[in-house]
Amino acid sequence: MKVLAVETSCDETAAAVVEDGRRVLSSVVSSQTDIHATFGGVVPEIASRAHLELVAPIVGEAMSRAQVGPTDLDAVAATIGPGLVGSLLVGASAAKAYAWSWDLPFVGVNHMEGHLHAAFLEDPGLSLPTVVLLVSGGHTMLISMEEGGGGSVEYRLLGETIDDAAGEAFDKVARFLGLGYPGGPAIDRLATTGSGDAIAFPRGLARQGFDFSFSGLKTSVVRYVRAHPEARLEDVAASFQEAVVDVLVQKTRRAAAETRAKAICIGGGVAANSSLRSRVQEVCAADGLAAFIPSRAMCTDNAAMIGATAWYRLRTDGPTPLSATVDPNLRLPLK
């Protein structure tokens, strides 16, 4: 079964063709980063307009790279939330139009569920229960992915951020340090030449439960830099990154032990962070757990993960009616 998937929840216009929820026949991502960089963040109205111009050519490119025409497809999927409402509307409307005109079922997909499924695409051997650390620009969640009945997968929320998302903290701190947008990759790069233990930034809620808090850390970086203008930017970046990664890894490790997970999986844009990737590898090796660390391209927004999730959703729930609308605050279907 071949699914054409469209993803336009934020500032990436993406399309992919995925076979049987596993084989990526093509995955095209056009990033609008350059357009938004001038403004220091994503401007929703500009994002929607750019999606509108790009969606048809990107879908065309994905189909031509996969060497498929409309008659080779079995379904058309699109992200229907969470995300920016205008951006979501462009991708979902385009996908519904393709589905309707080609007489194919439409599947509306939850973007966060897409991130959860990304690891499956590259590692079909993923064994459950698995603890997934989902860290993006808008979310920070610890989820236990468990087997439900009849081959279904259930998600149990163990904890989430009570204020800023991890990616948001990276972006805000980078903006304050004058590193531009998006902040995560900039801090990641700069941190390689700095010392992670140069400055002891606070570890929010480190010992309590599975919820996260990053707004105190962000304030602490601002205060420190104002009080120490001589501080090396590399050290500030590395110490900030260390504080974020430390909390993320500690909690994920504890969650894996408590839920008797067989593996730890990471997903979302922040899962592209080099320090987080190596620390998760180390912890898994030490605790005898499998580590599912998707490629960087599969961590950041893409349509292949939406195509994989659509295939799974189509089998368990069937198609989504064309009357279904987008939901900028769509929540994960939790147990």
* The entry of ligand KG4, Zn ion, none that residue 272 binds, CB within 5 to 8 Å by partner kind: ligand KG4
Residue with tokens 């590395």: 238
SS3 state of residue 3: strand
Instruction: Give the footprint of ligand KG4 on residues 213-242 (CB under 6 A).
Output: none
* The entry of ligand KG4, Zn ion, none that residue 183 binds, CB within 5 to 8 Å by partner kind: ligand KG4
CB of 225 to ligand KG4, least distance (A): 19
CB of 103 to ligand KG4, least distance (A): 32
Say whether residue 301 binds Zn ion (CB under 5 A): yes
3-state secondary structure 149-197: HHHCEEEEEEEEECCCCHHHHHHHHHHHCCCCCCHHHHHHHHHCCCCCC
- Of the pair 242, 301, the CB lying nearest Zn ion is at 301
Instruction: Give the footprint of ligand KG4 on residues 257-296 (CB under 6 A).
Output: 268-270, 272-273
* The entry of Zn ion, ligand KG4, none that residue 159 binds, CB within 5 to 8 Å by partner kind: none
- Pairwise CA distance, residues 117 & 5, whole Å: 14
- Pairwise CA distance, residues 95 & 271, whole Å: 28
Instruction: Give the footprint of Zn ion on residues 127-166 (CB under 5 A).
Output: 136
Q: Which stretch binds ligand KG4 (CB under 6 A): 39-47, 133-141, 207-215, 227-235?
A: 133-141
Say whether residue 194 binds ligand KG4 (CB under 6 A): no
Q: Which stretch binds ligand KG4 (CB under 6 A): 27-35, 61-69, 163-171, 310-318?
A: 163-171
Say whether residue 171 binds Zn ion (CB under 5 A): no
- How many CA atoms are closer than 13 Å to the CA of 255, on its beta-carbon side? 31
- Of the pair 130, 302, the CB lying nearest ligand KG4 is at 302
The amino acid that residue 170 corresponds to is: F
The amino acid that residue 242 corresponds to is: E
Counting Cβ atoms within 10 Å, is residue 23 exposed (0-12), middle (13-18) or buried (19+)?
middle
CB of 170 to ligand KG4, least distance (A): 4
Determine contact, residues 262/289, Cβ cutoff 8 Å: yes
- Pairwise CA distance, residues 46 & 243, whole Å: 34
- Of the pair 54, 303, the CB lying nearest Zn ion is at 303
CB of 18 to Zn ion, least distance (A): 17
CB of 110 to Zn ion, least distance (A): 11
Determine contact, residues 256/245, Cβ cutoff 8 Å: no
Please give the order of strands across the beta sheet that includes 153-160: 153-160, 140-147, 130-135, 263-267, 290-292
Selected from 106, 170, 292, 311, the binder of ligand KG4 by CB under 6 A is: 170
Q: For residue 218, give both structure tokens.
A: 């962000």
Q: For residue 262, give both structure tokens.
A: 């067989």
CB of 64 to Zn ion, least distance (A): 26
Positions in the binding site for ligand KG4 (CB under 6 A): 10, 136-138, 167, 170-171, 182-185, 188, 268-270, 272-273, 300-301
